[in-house]
Structure 1
Amino acid sequence: MHEFNRPSSTPGTSTLLRIATAGSVDDGKSTLVGRLLFDSKAVLADQLESVERVSRAKGLGHVDLALLTDGLRAEREQGITIDVAYRYFATARRTFILADCPGHVQYTRNTVTGSSTADALVLLVDARKGALEQTRRHLAVGQLLRVPHIVVAVNKIDLVDYSRDRFEEISADIVRIAEGLGVPSIHVLPVSALVGDNIVERSDRLTWYEGPTLLQLLEELPPADATEHSFRFPVQLPIRPQGAARDPRYVEYRGYAGQIASGVVRVGDRVVVLPSGRETTVVGIDTADGELTEAFAPQSVTLRLADEIDITRGELIAGVADAPEPTQDLDGMVAWLAERPLRVGQKVLVKHTTRTTQAVVRDIDGRLDLDTLRPQHTDALELNDLGRVRLRLAAPIMGEPYSTSRRTGSFLLVDPQSGTNLAAGMIRGDEAFSDEAAVPLDTTLNWSI
């Protein structure tokens, strides 16, 4: 029998932290990522030689660390990040998976992708320009996606002579925007990615700053612990061994494979299968390495149940005590990622966990105005808009508010013809289905989630 230790949520002791970067074009995201990799000794010798060679070919007087992440030819030619670049590095205290996301408004969809699984969002702001519209958009995306920690790095502080007044001015503006968006907590610190000030090592030129360096802060941030939530297991595949008809050892075997979305399950637990509502007991937990007596998110396992129940892909196994209610009405916030606008009456596919069903757009309740940070009425959502929609589904899903669970509270809107992703969505609470409980669009930004 194999036993696994649950991930620790104690600050600084977790083995893994997922990070995403965001910010406007030319704020220095790729340079900051390259600096983190370089100063933490996570760059191989041949990688550094290649970057030095390309930097010389471009006529630069310094090593362009942005080339460590801008790997596409178009990115190097244009000097911008287009796709999400994933990099892995580790320190003595923590292992990191870092997603370097594009800053251009055209690629906001990539920022949504990179931030959707992040434990921390590092948002860069150019010290010369301050907070821009894209800064507000990325803060809004971070809040909507419920990224546990948002870190704002005021970059290029060297280009404003390490001015404390300028940093405090930008910091106050960022905090004001974050409070308006409902961001629960935010960290703001001054850095220079190009020079290396306050990235990994403290800087003698920032003696007025008494906080941690960026790496120190990232090492201390506690990750989100999916085991703290209720048990949720979207079924991916019913398992019946192909040799069951010939080998008597497998005749009775029936299991249900998938990845635990949240919580913990143990042999002997009472569970319910949704949407049918049939209750049963977990009698076995199997993995490729053998049987377990307990499993937790995000492990991939096969559950064996006491009763023979007709269970297919897309159904949900949950704890009996606090199982979600299946619903065919979906109220959520979406980040619209398609060129074609979303309109009332449009037919889409909704992908929620392992379940995909047809749906129709019943209503569009508004979009977020990034200038005023308030909702405004609209009859359509355009590319990169953040808006609230109501959908009617052809089959029920077992959704929960995104504020409760990032896994079972998220969904995708998919084009039925092409299969392309149209929007990333976050489910609102049950109270949102009541017209009386709906927040007027002209009153408060807490309308978001």
Structure 2
Amino acid sequence: MAASATSTGGALPELTNRTPLLGLKLYVLLLIVALIVIATVVLILVFVRRSRSSKKRKMRVKHSSGAIPLVSKEIVEVNTLELKIDPKKKEVEMEESASVESPNIGWGRWYSLKELENATEGFAEQNVIGEGGYGIVYKGILMDGSVVAVKNLLNNKGQAEKEFKVEVEAIGKVKHKNLVGLVGYCAEGAQRMLVYEYVDNGTLEQWLHGDVGPASPLTWDIRMKIAVGTAKGLAYLHEGLEPKVVHRDVKSSNILLDKKWNAKVSDFGLAKLLGSEKSYVTTRVMGTFGYVSPEYASTGMLNEGSDVYSFGILLMELITGRSPIDYSRPPGEMNLVDWFKGMVASRHGDELVDPLIDIQPSPRSLKRALLVCLRCIDLDVSKRPKMGQIVHMLEADDFPFRSELRTNREKDPAASSKIPYPTRHVEPADKSSWR
């Protein structure tokens, strides 16, 4: 044990002995060697990691120039899955950010309720310019000085929201000189409002049935101008859009007039979109009594022919100055259609003209208008003309009439086969004529 202790004790002092290398003690030299080994290992690890990073960068460059995406497939799948799970949340977030950051959304402008309250002086009664079953229309002046018509939709068992959506879809992006333009909208809380361009000369109904004095300012030529403008607006809805739009509430109170008597079709609250693959759509019957076509009233099957029928009634209204249904008239004259047909059948068409018209129309112009009316209200929907054809019929100066056909037949018996009878067929008008 003494020998062992002596040998151990003798070994320890050797670590403190100085070595020939720079006179360093042995334990210091060993420590230096250990540090060098550790540093070498660290350097090797760093080098290996950098070389791997370099390879990854080269791979990214190569992939970015080829068909391999930089974003991994797993991340793409996760993002897609999130959209499928919660699209409503993302949609709401988008709408909120859009309403705060940018007032312009798509086709129109988003208005806050406060803006429209200020524009209409708190929806003051003196600013009311129209009222119906679907809403109240106010005249408003925006901050930039522009004048608008603000339609506050009534919340009738959810109808307001439904009508709001229909109007926005139907006319949000539609631009035509004979259609009232939709400037923007407000959807705040339960409120649904539409902001239209302001048309400054009232409605056709006001000018036809209001107190205008002993002579109507609506001369025959002005009335025909209004009829053509209305027909062009409807023709654009039916034939210039995809999907086509069926108005289904064509009436005199929905025809606005500017100072030059240009007609603008308004109020698309009842409009229906009709795709090209459908010839009709079945809906709950809606419209205004006296204007609704018989087949739509009885079956609910709606197509553009329903608007054509309503336009025929509107044209009768323009010619006669009478309302479609007037209970103040004698029994045989209460229903405009029945009275109108009877007068034409008994060859008293000239007596149909509104007595408030000072200068009577020419026989030719009157016959043309009467014929268009009768064709529009044909009980056979397939025989009613298209709105584009109606534009052509009302504007054409060379429109053939029965008397002219009879004269031609007397001169040439074969002429009847050469001249088409207009009540049977009219070639479709070029769309450029109603734009």
Same fold (TM over 0.5): no
Structure with more of its chain in helix, by fraction: 2
TM-score norm. by structure 1 comes to 0.25
Which of 1 and 2 has higher RCO (CA within 8 Å, sep 6+)? 1
* Higher alpha-carbon Rg: 2
TM-score norm. by structure 2 comes to 0.26
Structure with more of its chain in strand, by fraction: 1
